[in-house]
Amino acid sequence: MKTTPVKVLLIEDDEDDVLLVREYLAESGNFTFELEWEPKPEQARLKMVLGSHDVFLIDYRLGSETGLDLIKFAQQKGVITPSILLTGQGDLKVDLDATRFGAADYLVKTELNGPILERSIRYALSQAKVIRELDEKEKRYRSLFERSVDPIFLANEHLKLVDVNESFMKFFQYSKQEALALKIKDLFAEESDYEKFYSNLKDLEQVRDYDCYMINKNGSKKGCLVNCVFIPDQLSEFCCYQGIIHDQTMRKKAERDMIIAERLSMTGKIARTIAHEVRNPLTNLTLAFDQLKEEIPTETPDIKLYSDIIERNANRIEQLISEMLNSSKPKELNLELTPIHEILEETLALSIDRINLNQIKLEKNIQRDLPRVLLDREKIKIALLNIIINGLEAMQPGSGILKVSTELRNGSIAALICDNGKGIASEEIEKLFDPFYTGKPGGMGLGLTSTKNILNSHSAEVEVLSAIGEGTTFCISFKLPE
């Protein structure tokens, strides 16, 4: 038994039919009805959008308009109050149109009586309640979908994206239209990662905390954890995949920096140990050799040859120890506000002879109006020079192109050094700043280690992008002072 009155808006231009409807509603023993009559469609529109009625009874013929026009109007305005269409005689087309436009029911006046009208209203109210609950749930989940800080996507059975949230578009730098033209495969940086992901998804119908690199529109790699689950819908035979992506870029960077810091620390310990254990006997050996040279004739060819070998290798050992110590120990900085363009120009001037000798084409796009940053001018020049020399040595003489540019991005100044050399394999990039790692014959593998140490001491970030046969880009980002 419903104790709260059901508020009914009757939109009808025939007063006799109004009296009949009023009598039918009065016969109800289960409901109490409050009937409001409105004969004019234009006034009915105003009342329909107020949300003060529980159900609309709408006559099909309303002068120049039809009840279907009013039902369509309510749908367009987002009114979820149920509408029941009344007509003088049965018409299959009107019945089908009423359903298509969203009417809860369709009743023929000649067949109408109290129980039929009450049952129709009861079903309409029940249906409206379900629709209202679904609408509230949809709004709630849509809000979660749109407001999530993590990128979320929906994909169809062919793994083509069918919906993405705002965070997805921001993270991958795609517009909505561009994103919906993609497949999940297009988001993965490595095909092998996608193949493993796809295999797990098909076998288990879900993938949880899948650690991989994904790629945005501009080609930048992002360390991610991907969760994806298969959602079947047995009623419509439609299936989709829902995925959430957690950005792990900062975590992975912190892990990499920690590993590099530990390696630098270990290198420092090794260097100090070597300096203690080797330098002292080496010094004694050098002093003894200098004393010996004064007592033996150096004019003899064999003696001079062996003397030179001993002296050269002793100096080499001393140089190696010094470089190890310099590459690993914390740098004492002499910071000053410095324009980046001045440092880059001075660094390029130091390498210009090597550039010209190898017939390397130099392309500069160095902005001169960028803010200054706090730097140790001489140490940053050493770090940049190491990167430039590595780029020059990776290129073929006569066909190399070195590009140096600067830009302002996300509260920092980025200096980009690009070469078109042989490139670096993705698995080798992670080792690039490791102590003693080198791809050059005769190299000690401490140049980029020292570079990383200098950049770390400036809280500068360095990202390396490379492809075999295409070249390498070093992007060094310096934070702007507060």
CATH number of the CATH domain containing 98: 3.40.50.2300
Residue 259 predicted with pLDDT over 70: no
Which is more confidently placed, 411 or 403?
A: 403
Which is more confidently placed, 437 or 405?
A: 405
Average pLDDT, the chain: 84
CATH number of domain containing 202: 3.30.450.20
Question: Cα 302 from chain centroid?
Answer: 67
Report the alpha-carbon angle 184-187-188, nearest 5. Answer: 105
From 95-109, 216-230, 296-310, the region with the lowest mean pLDDT: 296-310
Question: Does a structural domain hold residue 202?
Answer: yes
Domain final position from 222, 247, 272: 247
Same domain, 200 and 290: no
Angle separating helix axes 377-394 and 447-457, nearest 10 degrees: 140
Q: CB under 8 Å to 76, separation ≥6 — which residues?
A: none
The pLDDT of residue 37:
93
- Which pLDDT tens digit goes with each residue over 272-315? 776 667 777 878 888 887 887 777 776 777 777 778 888 888 88
Contact by Cβ (8 Å): 183, 200: no
Same domain, 471 and 341: yes
Report which of 313, 329, 460 is spatially closest to residue 384, judged by C-alpha positions. 460
Contact by Cβ (8 Å): 57, 105: no
Q: What Rg value do the Cα atoms of the chain yield, rounded?
A: 39
Q: Which residue has the tokens 């009623």?
A: 235
Question: Does a structural domain hold residue 455?
Answer: yes
Question: Does a structural domain hold residue 297?
Answer: yes
Q: Which residue has the tokens 């689950």?
A: 229
Same domain, 470 and 352: yes
Write out the residue range of the structural domain in which residue 211 sits.
148-247
CATH number of domain containing 275: 1.10.287
Same domain, 184 and 109: no
Question: Does a structural domain hold residue 30?
Answer: yes
- Which pLDDT tens digit goes with each residue over 343-401? 999 999 988 988 998 899 999 999 998 999 989 888 899 889 989 998 898 899 989 99
Contact by Cβ (8 Å): 197, 210: yes
Same domain, 289 and 200: no
Average pLDDT of span 442-462: 76
Same domain, 265 and 290: yes
- Distance from C-alpha of 409 to C-alpha of 475, rounded to nearest angstrom: 11
For residue 203 the two structure tokens come to 């076998």
Same domain, 139 and 159: no
The pLDDT of residue 234:
43
- Which pLDDT tens digit goes with each residue over 110-152? 888 989 988 998 888 888 888 777 767 666 667 777 788 889 9
Residue 331 predicted with pLDDT over 60: no
Domain final position from 328, 357, 387: 328
Same domain, 468 and 345: yes
Query: Largest Cα–Cα distance of the chain, in whole Å?
Result: 138
The pLDDT of residue 151:
92
CATH number of domain containing 434: 3.30.565.10
pLDDT band at 236, cuts 50/70/90? very low
The pLDDT of residue 319:
73
Same domain, 324 and 342: no
pLDDT band at 444, cuts 50/70/90? low
Same domain, 431 and 340: yes
- Distance from C-alpha of 281 to C-alpha of 302, rounded to nearest angstrom: 25
Same domain, 131 and 213: no
The pLDDT of residue 475:
93
Q: What's the structural domain count of the chain?
A: 4
Question: Does a structural domain hold residue 1?
Answer: no
Average pLDDT of span 82-109: 83
- Distance from C-alpha of 438 to C-alpha of 180, rounded to nearest angstrom: 43
Strand partners, 222: 214
Domain final position from 277, 299, 328: 328
Same domain, 315 and 363: no
Average pLDDT of span 83-100: 81
